[in-house]
Amino acid sequence: MPQSKQDKNIERSWPKEGVIRVPAWIYSDPDIYARELETFHYGDTWNYVGLDCEIEPGGYKRSWVGERPVLVTRTEDGEIHVMENRCAHRGAMLCWKNSGKAKDITCPYHHWAYNLGGDLMGLPFLRGAGGKGGMPRDFDKSKHGLTKLRVARRGGSIWATYSDDVPPLDDYLGPEILERLDRLVSRRPLRLVGYSRQIVDSNWKLYWENSRDPYHATLMHPFLSTFGILRTDGDYDSVPLQEGRHEYTFSRYNPELRNSTSEASRQIKSIRSDLEMRDKEVVNSVVDEFQDGMMGAFQVFPTILVQQYFNCLVIRHIILKGPGKHELTWTYFGYADDDEQVRELRLKQSNLVGPAGFVSLEDSEMLALMQPVVESRPDAEQVIEMGGHGTEAQSTMMTENLIRAFYDFYRREMGL
């Protein structure tokens, strides 16, 4: 990315006010972006790569860690492996199908062949042809397997890391995330419902902030306030976790709110009494499968937001594609023992989220419009004062505490 003279002269130091200000250059500076990848995605973190229901024994799926393509494979013995989707010979992409079955993985370029564990099984013309050419006699195939990542699993979720120092997955997640993750992926075997994928033309942190920002929800997503799913006067918690890395938010769903008008909701213009939802199943949880009346979401740094909207269960996976771009993969899931009614319901409610979701379509559009504006004034500062200056948990939607908590963590890790 070309940098203007003015751009270069910006002082790369954090505003003296602390986490109530965020300097706009962190959303476009290529050096910052490169350091984020090294520090976070390729550093001491656990990266989500997929769900076990996506891969049968003898199968694979593609995923990403940071910008790097990886393969998640399952050998016939059921073991899961994660390895770079990069040929050890000269770096060709081995596999560009999203998922499938395979006995082994053969590179399309010079046909080096690897087993599903990532070991190099063989390569054509190792001994040359007609007594000429070939690899040197001391070429050791066992030293030229695919780059393997360390793998951890929790319930049906699969995680990978490049780090030897990161704490075990359970410690990395912490008890609050574990409880919420287990609630969704560890109690019953999972079933894949489907995917949506979208490219979002913004820095990944804008999206990361967006899902830590309950303040915008009822304002920018009129669907929420119009149909009473999430209103400013309901119970709501915004809780930062593990020094700001992760967070969870949750609200209690109260169908009564649709009919009442309290002071707070009167302030929101988008509540309209002339609109009615034809098919209320989209927002009425007819199956109370968790028996706790909660809806919520949580972020696990640096890759995912896990969300439950009624019976719609979805993981948003943020895949980095450069300083000004990321991909968002939405994986919808359910349970292997779902009956017909629940299967139907999960599909219907999946309309709520995704690239064109009733309550998410505005996010990526807003961020794509925002990115060039933010880039055009790298010297400007974001104002993060809603809910005060603190980083502790709060019981309101009218707060940016989770964004402050994130940048508190971010500054420490990045040395900014």
Partner 1 sequence: MNEWVRVASVDEVVEGEAFASERKGEAIALYREGDDIYAIGDVCPHETVRLSEGWLENGLIECPLHQSCFEIRTGKVIEGGAAYEDVACYEVKVEGGSVYVGEGRRP
Q: Report the distance separating Cα 104 and Cα 114, nearest Å.
A: 6
Residue 209 in contact with Fe ion, rule: CB under 5 A: no
* Structure tokens that stand for 93 in this block: 């992409």
Q: Residue 141 touches which of ligand FES, partner 1, Fe ion, none (CB < 5 to 8 A by kind)?
A: partner 1
Give the x-and-dash track for 348-387 against Fe ion (CB under 5 A): ---------------x------------------------
Residue 90 in contact with ligand FES, rule: CB under 6 A: yes
- Which spans of this chain sit near partner 1 (rule: CB under 8 A)? 104, 106, 111, 113, 115, 121-127, 129, 141
- Which residue, 66 or 296, has its beta carbon nearer to Fe ion? 296
Interface pick for ligand FES out of 37, 92, 268, 277 (rule CB under 6 A) = 92
| Type and span of the H or E element at 196 | strand 190-200
Residue 110 in contact with ligand FES, rule: CB under 6 A: yes
Give the x-and-dash track for 29-68 against ligand FES (CB under 6 A): ----------------------------------------
- Which residue, 222 or 302, has its beta carbon nearer to Fe ion? 222
CB of 164 to ligand FES, least distance (A): 27
- Which residue, 113 or 264, has its beta carbon nearer to partner 1? 113
List C-alpha distances in Å: 106 to 96, 111, 340, 357: 12, 5, 40, 38
Interface pick for ligand FES out of 122, 189, 293, 388 (rule CB under 6 A) = 122
CB of 108 to partner 1, least distance (A): 13
Q: Report the distance separating Cα 368 and Cα 353, nearest Å.
A: 18
Q: Residue 277 touches which of ligand FES, partner 1, Fe ion, none (CB < 5 to 8 A by kind)?
A: none
Kindly state the number of chain residues that form the binding site for Fe ion, as judged by CB under 5 A.
1
Q: Report the distance separating Cα 13 and Cα 46, nearest Å.
A: 28
CB 88 within 8 A of CB 145: yes
Interface pick for ligand FES out of 33, 64, 112, 208 (rule CB under 6 A) = 112
Q: Residue 124 touches which of partner 1, ligand FES, Fe ion, none (CB < 5 to 8 A by kind)?
A: partner 1
Q: Report the distance separating Cα 137 and Cα 91, nearest Å.
A: 23
Angle at 204 between CA 397 and CA 282, to 5 degrees: 50
Cα dihedral sign for 183, 189, 194, 195?
positive
Q: Burial code of 298-322, b = ≥16 C-beta within 10 A, e = fewer?
A: bbbbbbbbbbbbbbbbbbbbbbbee
DSSP-derived letter for residue 291 is S
